[in-house]
Chain A
Amino acid sequence: MLSADAETVWTCPFCPLLCDSLQASRQPGAGLVLQRGNCAKAQAGLGRFETSTVAGALLRGRPAPVEQAIAHAAELLRCSRQPVFAGLGTDVAGARALFGLAVNSGAICDGGPALMQSTRALQDRGGFATSLAEVRERADVLLCLGSPPGERYPMFDERCALQPDDARWLVLAPGGEAPDYFAPVARLAALLEGRSVAAAPAELLQAADRLRGAAYAVVVIETARLGPQGALLIEMLQRIVASLNRKGRAAALTLGGANGTGTANAVFTWLSGLPLRTRLGPQGLEHAPLAFDATRLLAAGEADLLLWLASFGSEAPPPATHAGTPRILIGHPALAAEAADVFIPVATPGIHHGGHLFRTDGVVLMPLHPVPGLEGGGPQGLPSDEAVLRQLQAALQAASQAASAAQEAAA
């Protein structure tokens, strides 16, 4: 009576707005296209799916049966002293499975630098958040850094009922890049705290007035654009929100957590109690948001295996590793082009099967649906990342048991 109709509802998994007003379909010979709605990001995401070519597992670049690939990956994991799991491009089901594998292998899991920035800011100061429908309903001033997010998030204006060049935008450091943001944000925060700011430019004074006069000011924070000291910027922006909330109303909308990273962070947090950049070691949990950076760990030789999970195909490429560091890549068939000891192609949540992803505001957990005709992994019969990860965990447990049995026999 109340079940969602998977035939007519689709959720686009290619950006954290997770729009469910679009519809994708499979065109014979033409791959996947956007049948309803218009979004360049969705089109680009769909364009990466070629449903006719064969996609199979690879062992050091050579085709191999998937069972053999999984067994080899399990052996690599068993021999690793400190594996690192990154990419984390999956949905709730995949993240649940990845957690089990991480516990079994004592892995460090990293959702990337942008996610770390918002985690750090939250842990240091907290913040005040809002969600898409609240922005649409209430925002009368929207503050952003550099430029409004529309070019990076093509559906943002439609979701928030904003016109192109909407007069409600207040753009700080227009056209600027991350390093330019610190001075104007710090000075604006000081003005709103009622401190005197020497030689404050007229635009900044006006900006402070507009924010103070707003019924509901929204500060839009794009975590991926804030640079290596982004946590400090987020803290300052949250200080602006807190100052405004003393007498009026304001809140921050975070845009980030794309390609499943926000979802993996939520799942790992609820299961373990700690967010990402945590080591699930045999002695317990260790959370180190700065130290447990996958790229740094691999470069410094502090991790000796990379497991990269990227099932959406829209993730960044995997990080570089030293020669001889095993690489296990699980994800979109196009990852086959990357160097790897083991590559296992998997289905994509929201394309080949259903699932769940957290929206950018972290409150709505959106259901995903397969594109009609691609259910169950499409014509290539791709397995879900969840299934592969669970098989890998079982293989790892079996390999560990066999190894300790062999050790006992030898002793």
Chain B
Amino acid sequence: MTRLLIRGGHVVDPAHGIDAVQDLYVQDGRIVAPLPEVDETVDATGCVVMAGGIDMHTHIGGGKANLARMLLPEDHRGGSLELPSCGTCTPGTLAAGTRYVEMGYTAAFEPAMMAANARHTHMEMGDTPVLDHGAYVMLGNDELFLEMLARGEAYETIRDYVGWQINAAKAMGVKVVNPAGISAFKFNQRKLDVDEAHTHWQVTPRQVVQTLARALKELGVPHPLHIHGSNLGVAGNIESTLQTIAALEGLPAHLTHIQFHAYGKEGPKKFSSGALQLAEVVNANANISLDVGQIMFGQTVTASGDTMRQHAQSGFATPRKWVGADYELEAGCGVVPFRYREQSYVNALQWAIGLEIFLLVNDPWRVVLTTDHPNGGPFTSYPHLIKLLMNRGFREEQLAKLHPDVAAGAALKDIKRELTLSEIAIMTRAAPARLLGLRDRGHLGVGAAADVVLYRREDDMERMFSTPERVYKDGTLVAKAGTLVAAPVGGTHFVEPEYDTGIHKRLKRHFSDKGLVNFDHVAISHDELCRCCNGGRLLPAACFQGEAT
């Protein structure tokens, strides 16, 4: 492979504390120490050089995404159709991969993979060009887990079950969605607070979260429990969020699309920002990381495993249609199209709350930039979001256009902080890589994978981050001036924690009794994963050793 010199760029590599003009050498797809001679030199003068972007929470693959596409042919009408794939909030995989790469992203993680749908999820991600990918498998609403918890079975048994499930689904981590709530909805329970018992199993979300967070820590899975908490979207849900953090008792956890979980119920409209309260607790609890799930105004579609909450919100569907489902004794899904409006008090405040969280949490290593694509807005709005975070004047201009009560009253208008390039680099690549345990991604140190982006420096950050000059994936030039020039198949990240295989017998019985798929059919082998993912590289991430007790 050619030896490449990227010369004279302004390298922003926060993992190594670098924010300066430097040369970068690439050989065999890796960043290397300075070489005596090279085959190609790229002049990066006037460019900002960063590692490839990593989106750790984006619904781009699997059942829900595909249902959303089927539900919304509207999303594909008009616009440019240069590809045999289209869409904005529900793009085809070919369009999604292309758009991500053209923006300088080189990896994306599907956060809500159902175990029963794991093969499908891997297939879609394999058909998403260029991007490396991985997925978090959903647990905590599966009847077996809830039954084990309800019967007070040995914790080690539950931990082995979690370990088996991660291996079987070839997952990168575990996500819990509305802990016990998706199952509870199948029993016609319409609400579940953190200390409220599931109507059938009598277990609480607190127990579910504690058990899963502990299991992941002991299994040595690098990414801690990925939590979509209780009461998503409900006014006053900041209480549930703080209770969930307390329930963790110091165990590491990642609270996802936290904007949707940071609502107070103050004020005349009984809907207020909980961002300050949240930020105080997060600043004081180093075990907690977040991604924001910023909302963006316009048409999108919300796709979630949270059947209970999506059913409750389905009356707001725009256009007026939605899909829900109960699936295989383990999960469910709800797909509700939605249009966020600037003149809606609630939507305007949601927008402000997201930005407040970005700006009030002190440590950028614990706040990841997401819109929870497509739930808060399509990922293609990231450059706009970056501009909002980096430019106070622009932010205030936008705020002034919103519902007058929000424009006048939001705490956001008094926040002066403007994020730096280095902080943006942390929130969009370095932090997600670290939170996922991707040791050779998200930075530009010697030995790192050569996922490198050159952004032409501009005053307008939205323009700068929309169309990078060049994007390299593992050393290969994949996009030039915002246009895809090569489409190698991306790799699959997953983890394989060790567990006691004695659990298999028990699981085989369960799968047979419940009429589920033949147990011998459940686990995805390496060979099959490779076929699902279109022959892309398998990238197993190392688990922490010696953590298990």
Contacts and interface: CB of A to CB of B under 8 A. Distances in A.
A160 interface: yes
B328 A363 contact: yes
Given A122-B323, A130-B326, A4 B520 contact: yes
Contacts of A92: 123
Interface residues of B, number: 71
Contact of B70 (A20, A159, A269): A269
Contacts of A272: 84-86, 92, 94
Interface string A251-274: 100000000000000110111111
A363 B91 contact: no
Contacts of A249: 185-188
Given A11-B521, A129-B324, A364-B328, A270 B516 contact: no
A274 B527 contact: no
B321 interface: yes
Contacts of B325: 128-131, 251, 363
Contacts of A20: 517-518, 521
B281 interface: no
A365 B84 CA distance: 24
B82 interface: yes
B488 to A, nearest CB: 17
Contacts of B124: 270
B168 interface: yes
Contact of A136 (B70, B327, B514): B514
A407 interface: no
B515 A136 contact: yes
B86 A270 contact: no
A123 B71 contact: yes
Contact of A125 (B188, B321, B532): B321
A366 B123 contact: no
Contacts of A103: 84
A2 B525 contact: yes
Nearest to B121: A365
A160 B525 CA distance: 28
B515 A126 contact: no
Given A249-B188, A269-B70, A365 B117 contact: yes
Nearest to A273: B92
Contacts of A271: 84-85, 92-94, 127
B69 A134 contact: no
A142 interface: no
Given A3-B527, A248-B188, A285-B86, A127 B323 contact: yes
Contact of B69 (A9, A133, A251, A274): A274
Contacts of A127: 323-324
B530 interface: no
B527 A363 contact: no
A362 interface: yes
A130 B307 CA distance: 12
Interface residues of A, number: 64
Contact of B523 (A2, A21, A133): A2
B65 interface: yes
B528 interface: yes
B186 A364 contact: no
Interface in B57-96: 61, 63, 65-67, 69-73, 75-76, 80-87, 90-95
Contacts of B515: 132-133, 136-137, 159-161
B70 A122 contact: yes
Contacts of A284: 80-84, 86
A122 B95 CA distance: 23
Interface string A17-34: 000110000000000000
Contacts of B73: 123, 274-275, 287
Nearest to B514: A133
Contact of B525 (A3, A136, A287, A363): A3
Contacts of B520: 4-5, 8-9
B340 interface: no
Contacts of A125: 321
A140 B273 CA distance: 44
B529 to A, nearest CB: 10
B168 A2 contact: yes
B287 to A, nearest CB: 31
B84 A367 contact: no
B66 to A, nearest CB: 5
A160 B322 CA distance: 27
* Most B-side CB within 10 Å, residue of A5, A125, A133, A273: A273
B343 interface: no
A363 B116 CA distance: 7
A176 to B, nearest CB: 28
A72 interface: no
Contacts of A312: none
Nearest to B114: A363
Nearest to B524: A2
Contacts of B87: 273-274
Contacts of A362: 63, 67
B167 A287 contact: no
B311 interface: yes
A133 B516 contact: yes
B521 A366 contact: yes
A43 interface: no
A267 B124 CA distance: 8
A127 B314 CA distance: 11
Given A133-B514, A271-B127, A367-B119, A124 B523 contact: no
A11 to B, nearest CB: 7
Contacts of B344: none
B120 interface: yes
Nearest to B126: A96
Contacts of B522: 4
B247 interface: no
Interface in B526-547: 526-528, 531-532, 534
Contacts of A136: 514-515
Contact of B66 (A129, A133, A266): A266
Nearest to B79: A284
* Most B-side CB within 10 Å, residue of A2, A271, A284: A2
Interface in A257-308: 266-267, 269-275, 280, 283-285, 287
A270 B321 contact: no
Contacts of B518: 9, 20-21
Given A4-B528, A126-B317, A251-B326, 9 more contacts: A129-B326, A130-B325, A132-B328, A251-B324, A269-B69, A270-B93, A272-B94, A362-B67, A363-B114
14 contacts: A4-B525, A126-B71, A127-B324, A130-B327, A131-B116, A133-B329, A136-B514, A251-B326, A270-B127, A271-B94, A274-B73, A275-B73, A280-B84, A287-B73
* Cβ-closest 3 pairs across A and B: A284-B81, A273-B92, A3-B525
